[in-house]
Structure 1
Amino acid sequence: MGRSSSSAASDFPLRDVPVGLAEPLRPHLEAAALEMVQEIQGLVPEYARPADSRYGRRMRWAVEQAVRLFVDAFGRQDIAWDAVTRIFERIGAHEARSGRSLDGLQTAIRVCGQVACRRFIKDARRLGWSLDTLGLITESLFVFLERVASAAGQGYARAQGELAGERERYRGRLRDLLVMDPPASAEAIEELARSAGWQTPRTLAAVAVRPDPDRAVPVLPPAFLADWHAPAPYLIWPDPDGPGRDRRLAAIGTARSAAIGPTVPPARAALSLRWARCGLALIERGVLPGKEPLRCLDHLPSLVAAQSEELLDVALGNRLAPLMALPPHRRDALSRTLLTYMECRDNAVAAAERLLVHEQTVRYRIRRLEEVLGGVMTDPDRRIELLLLLHHLVRLDPGDRRLSPAGRGRAEGPLPPK
């Protein structure tokens, strides 16, 4: 309560009331407590429990204890505040753990005060109290109720802090459980989600992030599960394709770089995280753009090729040997032109716009490639293979066979770092 029992008693007006005034009240304390409980149950729906229930009995006991302590304090300097404050601290804590606000409890305390005031006015008439005596008693009642309400608030706040810490631990365990490989069962996920106060979504996406060391960690909605301090930080984004996507995307974008894995059911979160981390690695290599959070499904060729670089590297010398035999500057221009041309559905005009060259230049290079590669370019069964090989050669070159810097178009960004 912040003050000792003795100091609290010293400024309590009831100490100046004659001790003998308490005796005529004692036979009526049980009836007063019962009246308070009945009015509380009539005005506060969540407290309307059967009188013989465990909750009903405990509520009546708490009210009786408070009533009895108040009357016992008449004319006393040594009031045992701790006895009643502990009761209401526990009640406040119980309300927090039950997920209720303090509104109901505060209403119940006000109701008790109203009932007590009515009864004291009747007692004043019945027992012939002076107005000064009645004033001291009612003033003391309001001080008493304020202290009781304060104790309940402190218990509530303390329990909320404990619950928040406990819930955060559950959230951390849930986050780690979701990305386990092999995946945890749906039942295990659901059980831990309930303990964490997290509503299991229909779909989610994992987001691999690299926090900006010069900026504060982004503030995200509570639905996100985040581990910003892991060696490889990541987030769990529930319902990433639902309402509010752009706003949440902007919040993620305050990280230095981020890659969003594919949207999957909760049981496949590990898959989403695996691809998100692959996307982040390509951002950090300079292969993929990183100014905005990157959606991995928008860059499938790069991600697929990145997972097979060793195989594609070996295949280049076998499948595209004539092209690889050319000098680097010629190989660079022809490879880039052919990849862009194929990505533009064999449209020379569109490819020229992307490469920032004249369309006749594109057509000349395609004819030259037809001479170099022969039937590979026109074989429909080899088209996907050719696209993957070119994508690896142009966009994911590992460094020992790097394309010449002069051939890299301005619109396509800088070379990946060595």
Structure 2
Amino acid sequence: MASVPTPRRPRRRLTDTERRAAWLTRVQAPLDEARPEVGIPEFVQALQERVPNLTQQLVHTLQREVTAFAGGKTRRAIIRRAARSATGEFFALLEGTVPNDPAVSQSFQQVGFGIASEGNTLEPMHIALRIAHLEAWRVLSETATTHQVSTHFLGSLGEALDLYFAHLEEEAAHGHTHGVQMRDADRGVIRERLLAEICVDDHFGSAEDRADRITVLAAGADWPLASEVVAMRVAFEGEFPTLAEPHHDILMDARRAPALLVCSPQRAEEASAELLLHDSVLRISISWPVSPTELPAADRIARRTLDLVRLRETSSHRVLRTTEHMYQLWIHSEPELRRRLVNEMLQPLLTEKPRSRRLLAETLLAWIATRDSAPIVAERMGVHPQTVRYRQRRMREVFGDLLEDPEFIAVASLTLRASLPFWRIGDDADLMGPAPQRRPAKGTPVTGQRRSQDE
């Protein structure tokens, strides 16, 4: 019977002190092997005499060659302190002592942390340590040649130096990782403040003051501030999906539905295409482009567009662009008013059968838009001119002299544009019952009048 393997325990993570001690022990090993061959005190004293010039030259070179290290007195002091503490620790190892002071590790962690806080990768640190490594080896090898040390000792010295600089690089990386975590945590808070500043309509100060606040927060949040942005409202169920693409250029609040995303118009198209791959995303509403200071109004419209779908006041496509639903948004700002307008202005159409109602409404809209002859309207609609003539006669029968009333034409055009999407899908919610009393139209058909061939 095969034995069941015992699961391995996860390795305990070393503390900073344990990790540092392990590195220094590795550095000391090649030195211990070769140390008896030379007079270490004299060698170390000769090296120490060269340290001040080495440190000064190194600080100057790093600030000239590495942009992230450029700066004034404070930056120079940090570099000088790190170089001096590292030199002192290496000398102690050379003399056979493992230092207990964590100052060197802390200095290099501080440098790595500072690089991360400024938004830099570790590449500047890699460059700086390569420069320092070459300079340190130049001084060590020149001093070793002067003291006529053996090739074996010089090789051991080089191996120890390589290991020591690997230790310094790890300490810097450790500080950099912590700095990135802190920076991202801080950046997350700033992004929340930025999103609130952009999307909340109740602000203090002038528009110029608000624009300045947005600019400052965008820089702190690492958010590319575009001249035009859109508000995306995403209806979803369950958990909001994670965007696979890097999305530092999207401000997002997905804690509750509908989620809010703010980004450039082009990025909105990319993000919506990615979100639609997830079944949890029900629908996306994208506002028209506006300046960042005008986003509150655009966001309200995007939310309202989603509400229209919920209220069956617009199409149920998964992506809704507010620019394509402006008539519905305008007239549906009060849905009950739209229904009453339909029953007030278009009551004769509501008595038609659904197909006839839709065809007459489409023909009436095309005629209102062009006011052209039957052949031109027919070409616009893609039907035979005789069909348009027949429908025009039916419209005259249905509406009579109202077709000459500019007020009726204006209101009917808007009402038809808002209502046709529902009539096309057979939605009869507009049939509210008896219409309010209104003036009769000349030529209004009487009961039993002949119906259209479009039925």
TM-score clears 0.5: yes
DSSP 3-state at the match of 2:102: helix
Residues 235, 183 of structure 1: alpha-carbon distance in 2 compared, 3 angstrom cutoff: farther
AA aligned opposite 1:11? R
**What does the per-residue CA deviation read over 1:29-67, in whole Å, with 9 as the maximum and x for residues that have no partner?**
2632532441452352434556xx222222212111100
Aligned residue in 2 for 1:319: 345
**Aligned to 1:275, which of 266, 277, 301?**
301
DSSP 3-state at the match of 1:226: strand
Separation (CA, whole Å) in 1 of partners of 2:168 and 2:174: 10
**Aligned to 1:383, which of 409, 415, 419?**
409
Separation (CA, whole Å) in 2 of partners of 1:350 and 1:259: 35
- Contact in 1 for aligned 2:59/2:80 (Cα 8 Å): no
**Aligned to 1:147, which of 167, 171, 194?**
167
Compute the displacement of 1:105 (Å): 2.3
Aligned residue in 2 for 1:298: 324
Residues 117, 393 of structure 1: alpha-carbon distance in 2 compared, 3 angstrom cutoff: closer
Compute the displacement of 1:267 (Å): 1.3
Aligned residue in 1 for 2:442: none
Separation (CA, whole Å) in 2 of partners of 1:309 and 1:121: 86
- Contact in 2 for aligned 1:5/1:78 (Cα 8 Å): no
User: Which deviates further from its counterpart, 393-402 or 204-213?
Assistant: 393-402
What is the percentage of aligned positions where both structures have the same residue?
25
AA aligned opposite 1:164? D
**Aligned to 1:401, which of 430, 433, 437?**
430
- Contact in 2 for aligned 1:34/1:60 (Cα 8 Å): no
Compute the displacement of 1:344 (Å): 6.2
**Aligned to 1:31, which of 50, 55, 75?**
50
DSSP 3-state at the match of 1:78: coil
Aligned residue in 2 for 1:14: 31
DSSP 3-state at the match of 1:209: strand
DSSP 3-state at the match of 1:118: helix
**Aligned to 2:134, which of 107, 114, 132?**
114
Residues 392, 94 of structure 1: alpha-carbon distance in 2 compared, 3 angstrom cutoff: closer
Residues 91, 347 of structure 1: alpha-carbon distance in 2 compared, 3 angstrom cutoff: farther
Compute the displacement of 1:9 (Å): 4.0
**What does the per-residue CA deviation read over 1:44-92, in whole Å, with 9 as the maximum and x for residues that have no partner?**
2434556xx2222222121111001100112536343733222111111
**What does the per-residue CA deviation read over 1:173-195, in whole Å, with 9 as the maximum and x for residues that have no partner?**
21232111235622332232222
**What does the per-residue CA deviation read over 1:184-220, in whole Å, with 9 as the maximum and x for residues that have no partner?**
6223322322221223322211122234869943336
Compute the displacement of 1:367 (Å): 1.2
Residues 352, 81 of structure 1: alpha-carbon distance in 2 compared, 3 angstrom cutoff: farther
Aligned residue in 2 for 1:413: none
User: Which deviates further from its counterpart, 190-199 or 280-289?
Assistant: 280-289
- Contact in 1 for aligned 2:59/2:79 (Cα 8 Å): no
Aligned residue in 1 for 2:190: 170
DSSP 3-state at the match of 1:11: helix
Q: TM-score, normalised by structure 2?
A: 0.75
1:225 maps to 2:260: no
- Contact in 2 for aligned 1:33/1:67 (Cα 8 Å): no
- Contact in 2 for aligned 1:6/1:77 (Cα 8 Å): no
Compute the displacement of 1:340 (Å): 4.8
Residues 33, 282 of structure 1: alpha-carbon distance in 2 compared, 3 angstrom cutoff: farther
Residues 55, 26 of structure 1: alpha-carbon distance in 2 compared, 3 angstrom cutoff: farther
AA aligned opposite 1:97? S
Separation (CA, whole Å) in 2 of partners of 1:193 and 1:237: 12
1:261 maps to 2:280: no
**Aligned to 1:202, which of 222, 227, 236?**
227
Separation (CA, whole Å) in 1 of partners of 2:121 and 2:250: 24
AA aligned opposite 1:169? V
Compute the displacement of 1:346 (Å): 5.2
Aligned residue in 1 for 2:88: 68
* Structure 2 runs not aligned, ≥5 long: 1-12, 205-209, 433-451
1:134 maps to 2:154: yes
- Contact in 2 for aligned 1:40/1:111 (Cα 8 Å): no
Q: TM-score, normalised by structure 1?
A: 0.81
Residues 215, 178 of structure 1: alpha-carbon distance in 2 compared, 3 angstrom cutoff: closer
DSSP 3-state at the match of 2:261: strand
AA aligned opposite 1:290? H
Aligned residue in 2 for 1:287: 314
